Amino acid sequence: MRALVVGPGAVGRLADVPGPVPGAGQALVEVHRTSVNFSELRHMDRLPEGTVLGYDAAGVVLRPAADGTGPAEGTRVAAFGAGAWAERAAFDTDALAVVPDGVDLAVAGALPMSGLTALRSVRAAGVSLGSRVLVTGASGSVGRLAAQLARLAGAHVVASVSSPDRARDLALGAGVEVVTGLDGVAPVDVVIEVVGGPTLVAAWGLLKPGGDLQSVGWACGQPAVFPPGSTFSLGPARSMSSFGDADSPGPDLAFLLGLVAAGNLSVEIGRRVPWERLEEAAAAQLDRTLTGKVVLDVGPAGHVHS
């Protein structure tokens, strides 16, 4: 089969590779759509040459799991797992979710990594009715979804973006206050922090006693330097948590797809191209000229799955 793999001198190159051999608890999926995450592009050079790339996928079950778990043959599914940028991939059945009727596979394929990160960080932070939640990098895929999920939980959301242009383009509905930068932002109960570096330090300074900051990304690539004494405050302890929980993503992915099907969660697609054009789309994502996810159509050039 063909797959996008780590290769010298390119973001990812198409190559012929052996097909996956599913384990007893894995389904074989024909991948129709996959999406590109910023972190995958940034850290691709850490992987051995020839590694099949990608984690987000949407397609159709070709062969159900041998142990009888998971969806049946022919079921439309979304999945989260390694090796997704390929014509076929094997996924644990607890990493699969059935795509509801009416949800396009391009949307389903854009959701897994960003959606799971947003949902699990909002949940871990204890976002609740009436809380004030700051989301940094809110024009990015994780931030945009986290802002929507916090609003659905009943929070007042402050969505921070890097420029007035991004603020104008960000429409997240009632209950979301869109700001450029963090100057003038009032203290908050929760921070979902995606940018890292100086933004992480500034966001920590806005956290109320007893509040929680979820550090879920480091898009800026700069170090965070905390002034002396900035981690001390009177009152209930503030906490800063790392995030990286990818365990059994299927049920949470199904929950997110249900929100999409009901019209309660929107997934922004910034560009959709054949997978042969990955390098072009990735360049736009890396230089921050593109908002929303890059979705790749998988398969022979010019062929579009239904």
Neighbour-count burial of 167, counting CB atoms closer than 10 A to its CB (0-12 exposed, 13-18 middle, 19+ buried): middle
pLDDT at 305 over 60: no
Give the domain 117-242 fold: Rossmann fold (3.40.50)
pLDDT of residue 167: 73
Query: Rounded to whole angstroms, what are the CA distances from 110 to 31, 141, 143, 302?
Result: 13, 9, 14, 20
Token look-up 């910034």 returns 270
Tell me the pTM: 0.93
User: What is the model's pLDDT at position 219?
Assistant: 87
Where do you find CATH 3.90.180.10 in the chain? 2-111+267-297
For residue 300, name the pLDDT band (cuts at 50, 70, 90). low
Q: How far is residue 158's CA from residue 191's CA, in Å, rounded to a whole number?
A: 9
CA 81 to chain centre: 13
CATH class name, domain 2-111+267-297: alpha beta
Q: What pLDDT is recorded for position 169? A: 66
Q: Quote the percentage of the chain above a pLDDT of 90.
A: 75
Q: Is the pLDDT of residue 260 over 90?
A: yes
DSSP 251-298: HHHHHHHHHHHTTS----EEEEEEGGGHHHHHHHHHTT---SEEEEE-
CATH 3.40.50.720 residue window(s) in the chain: 117-242
293 token code pair: 């996810």
Per-residue DSSP letters for 41-61?
HHTGGGSPTTPBP-SEEEEEE
Number of H helices, E strands in the chain: 8, 15
